[in-house]
Amino acid sequence: MKKKIIELYRQKRKILVSNEERWKHFQIICIFITLGITSLFMSAVNFFTHQGTFTWVTLGFAIACIIDLFLYRLRGYAAKAALVLFAVEILAIFIYFITSGIPDGFSVLWIAMLPCFGLLMFGMRNGILISILMFLLLIFFFWTPFGGELLMYQYNATFKMRFPILYLAFFVVALLFEIIRLQAISALKESRQKYEFLCFHDTLTGLYNRFWLQTITGNQDKYQIKPSAVAVLDIDNFKYFNDNFGHLNGDIVIREIGQKILETMNGSGDLCRWGGDEFLIFFHTDIDAETVCKRIVDAVRSHEFIFNGEHMSTTLTVGLAIAPDGGTEKADELIRQADINLYSAKDKGKNCTVSSQLTA
């Protein structure tokens, strides 16, 4: 039981971390929870140490964090409103910390946390603006005569001189870490995109591969595949090209015919390399698949290859299975019937299309 729980936790963690948006959403929720709990704890401490107004300020901030958390979990405009409210709240409470100095000048130290979570919560641009605004407020209160008159606590000169510099150092470090984090996410996203492309595409033709086909047909709930027809296409006499002109030229035949099929389809479906010298088409709904297949057969027949100065051409044989009522979720049955029809077309002498409608 314990192992199952641990494994379930690991799977959920992988799903969470693999999605940058969800991961950031989770991190911001953790920040709200952490600051809320910390403020509640500090409110209790302030209450028992008789800090008066400071108790109600920290308690109010804890309640505000709870409200922000609730709004943020609603997502959309509510989440954006939560971040705006939180930015106002955090600046307000930090100004109170500076001016009041309660207790004994300690609370102002919490301001050094702002850059580390501000850049994450508000984004790079807004996080920098809020962090710089906080730095300017520190300069105003600690380094200008007018700001100093607003202070209700007597900070010593050394602290007032050094704390803004310390805050600036925290801000620079947090900024560097955020830049590194964003670069790492960008590199990870690029690597994931390359991996997904290599995973779902054939390296020779650049078309979808068989694994892509197995993935979408095996996950009907996710991909909602409902093809109107499926065609399996086979290059006729392909062995002749490999035996007489070599495998490299055989690859050229596969690649060029794949592109010719794709061009002739004109967006009427999804094309994948089924394997070897075979291709497969998932036709979209409301498409006259039989007419498209006939155009593909004609286009391939008229296409020429030049090997060692010799003009060559080949033909294509197609097995087509058409779904009833414009589409079906039984993609596997369509593929199976299209494959049967392909062999029937081969028996008829190749260079043709044999089609049939799948029974409901």
The answer for 173, left when phi > 0, alpha when psi is -120 to 50, beta otherwise, is alpha
d(CA 12, CA 59): 34
User: In this prediction, what percent of the chain has a pLDDT beyond 70?
Assistant: 93
- Can 277 be counted among the known catalytic residues? yes
pLDDT of residue 216: 82
The CATH code of the domain at 210-357 is 3.30.70.270
pLDDT of residue 3: 58
Q: In the numeric block, which tokens belong to residue 298? A: 């004609």
pLDDT of residue 83: 93
Average pLDDT, the chain: 88
| Burial of 11: CB neighbours in 10 Å, binned 0-12, 13-18, 19+ | exposed
Chain segment 237-275, per-residue pLDDT in tens: 888 888 888 888 889 999 999 999 999 998 888 999 988
Chain segment 175-188, per-residue pLDDT in tens: 999 999 889 888 88
Chain segment 66-91, per-residue pLDDT in tens: 999 999 999 889 999 999 999 999 99
Strand 269-275 and strand 310-312: the pairing is: unpaired
Q: In the numeric block, which tokens belong to residue 221? A: 């709930």
Cβ 334 vs Cβ 225: under 8 Å: no
d(CA 108, CA 275): 67
Q: What residue segments make up the domains of the chain, in order of their start?
A: 2-196, 210-357
pLDDT of residue 81: 94
Q: Which of 68, 236, 270, 277 is catalytic?
A: 277
Q: In the numeric block, which tokens belong to residue 288? A: 């006259």
Give yes or no for residue 14 having a pLDDT over 60.
Answer: no
Mean local confidence (pLDDT), 197-206 = 90
| Burial of 333: CB neighbours in 10 Å, binned 0-12, 13-18, 19+ | middle
Query: Quick one: which H or E segment has residue 269?
Result: strand 269-275
pLDDT of residue 310: 80
Give yes or no for residue 139 having a pLDDT over 90.
Answer: yes
